[in-house]
Structure 1
């Protein structure tokens, strides 16, 4: 790992990043911390117990929670769960705007299912990635305004009939509310009982402010200075869900990279502590075809919006994240690899064919920073090189 370590140490010295934590498990076991988690009012070294904002890396845990409920027979993937989400269910489909700016909408006709939510084909989007949603929220006077609940933040029209296209957005946040409705538990309590506790994890939460030990280990937020191009510490932590009064299953959790890697490793090794093998297998199956597949292909024809390295190739979306469905220019990734990232420039991957999983953790904005992408790619390539040298004892 010397080449990668030199790359990241130089990045810290050059101000590309203030600090980072990386972890890998499976046929390669590696973890390391670089730089600092804070540089003012005094320097605090980055350590393995540093707590990071997970942002959209939260989505994988919410997918696991949903699949656990399906596994127990509480709900089916294709049941109409609209009655559980009344605010989402009453949203019309936004088809455009009149010349005077009045929105043009039509009623939704089909069901809303968990499959739609986990594959981002329900019709929702983020305001920052949809001009139509931004325009609608501007008309409503809510553009850029934080909300305290999923209903408040994402209670806006759909862009298409569920199942007819694909758009990355708030679907996992709605899925988290389904978990709460069907389990009778808050999302925090559900995950604590059914995801974190089975793996012995104590460094993941939606509410770090209520845990003094975790709060003091939070990584500071850094931003890319537009003048110098260097990473500088933000004056304060920039929350993904400011003012939230409930857990957001698509973006609201915090964790150490080590604890998060244990979740990845459970899925990698099929240890059945989170999901039965047959259920886990479904998580890695491609879900999109037709219109949704076409929309995803278009989105990843220019993937500069997405955190991570997604060169040209064959992609799909599965029940846990982006799926490498065939060959890509990242030739080391095997088909069946599942991966995704979070807005603060962190990313994870699980490659069950190679037998490795890993996560790159940083806390830097803006999202999809090209300089961080180089470091992420360097980390991933080094893990695969090491996996190739160390003959795996078993094949998954």
Structure 2
């Protein structure tokens, strides 16, 4: 899979081509209805790319269509890459999952834990359990995001300049110091909450490796995988027009669906150049062809094109549920708004994992693992069906349309073998 070229008849790997066409018809309807600017979707089985579909525009106002080499802000789809980078260091014996992160990031040794009160006058307590490396990988650290708008701790993040971005001029070392000065949402390991854990993990990779995160990625992950169009923001000489424009949904009536979208250039422009803060939680731009290589690395158990980044056993360990008692996120987690249900879904080391498809309410299999980005991008690997599927667009927030559930039901209904 050097490029997005389909060389395999879907029937050769168990797909009904006619039924698979339903996928594009459904996705294109959102484009035709003015709810989605454009999209690109890939479907591969047993290592063979069998479908690439697209419609609409990467820049509606300029009339630029979605193309196979369009670049996308993948936001939180950066997280699995950072998790793989960390686990490569784990395989070298750089740390144990139970190690307190304060061993390398001492600013987190005395971080307080929120108990009660307002953002202006919080009541806090000491940590009873230190933040450990596994807490970063599983989002059980007590760190959060300012954009949740759910708790006083979220408000403290926003007050410190951490909502959809970070303070100007602050690098990864500085933003970690700032986060460490804000109380944790809960005692480490006590709950699941989506937050900046993977950004802190990215800083840990830097400290352990002695390299900036972009250099580690380039030398250890991207170049070995042939991911030549993946970087933290556009690089010098990159064509800005190759990067899809970022859009935000335009709300409809209160409680109703979005009625359309509008450009969100104030946020989108951040990806036009390399940022000061190399966000391991959301800083990469990529192409569908590049990310397919990464997804295939996972599906193939840590190797790709003859090279090996991780052992198959490590990938298997990462993609099982690590929440205590095999709980799902809905039971163990904070009630943050998400596009897909959190029931029946656990969390591994860097990816969510389906543990009960019936409870999840989506046509899929136990062990399906996935993660998506804020602008509605997503990928998943289904080890039972030997599938890798990815979807790209640039629409905020990711909860605007039920894309992720539709991908699974429409891909899986097309399987006949």
Q: TM-score, normalised by structure 2?
A: 0.82
8 Å contact kept, 1:77–1:115: yes
**2:277 aligned to which of 230, 234, 246:** 246
- Alignment of 1:232 with 2:262, yes or no, is yes
Of 174, 177, 186, the residue aligned with 1:160 is 186
In structure 1, the residue corresponding to 2:201 is in which secondary structure?
A: helix
Deviations 1:157-214 (A, max 9, x none): 1122211222111100000001000111111111111111111110111131x23325
Q: 1:38 to 1:92 in 2, by over 3 A?
A: same
Among 205, 209, 222, which residue is 2:247 paired with?
222
In 2, the alpha carbon distance for the partners of 1:333 and 1:306 equals 18
Question: Contact 1:222 / 1:363 at 8 angstroms: preserved in 2?
Answer: yes
Q: Identify which range, 331-340 or 344-353, moves more after superposition.
A: 331-340
Conserved 8 A contact 1:39-1:233 = no
- 2:15 aligned partner: none
For the pair 1:381 / 2:409, whether they are aligned, the reply is: yes
Distance 1:297 1:22 in 2: 32
Q: 1:237 to 1:111 in 2, by over 3 A?
A: closer
Partner of 1:66: 86
Let me know the Cα RMSD of the aligned residues.
2.7
Residue pair 1:297, 1:315 contacting (<8 A) in 2 also: no
In 2: Cα distance, 1:48 partner to 1:286 partner? 34
Per-residue CA deviation, residues 292-317 of structure 1 (Å, 9 max, x unaligned), is: 947642648x67x224x3374x2211
**Hey, what does 1:15 align to over in structure 2?**
34
Q: Which of 353, 375, 390 is the aligned partner of 1:323?
A: 353
Q: Which residue does 2:395 correspond to in 1? A: 364
What's the counterpart of residue 189 of structure 1?
215
Any stretches of 5+ residues in structure 2 without a counterpart? 1-19, 253-257
Using the size of structure 1 for normalisation, the TM-score is 0.87
Pair 330,128 (structure 1): closer, same or farther in 2 beyond 3 Å: same
- Segments of 4+ moved more than 6 angstroms: 240-243
1:46 counterpart = 2:66: yes
Q: 1:197 to 1:243 in 2, by over 3 A?
A: closer
Deviation sequence 1:319-345 (CA, Å, 0-9, x none): 121111123354531111111211111
Whether the aligned pair in 2 keeps the contact of 1:32 and 1:48 (CA below 8 Å) is: no
Secondary structure, counterpart of 1:213 in structure 2:
coil
Alignment correspondent of 1:31: 52
User: What SS does structure 2 have at the residue aligned with 1:173?
Assistant: helix
Residue 121 of structure 1: how far off its partner (Å): 0.7
Partner of 2:6: none
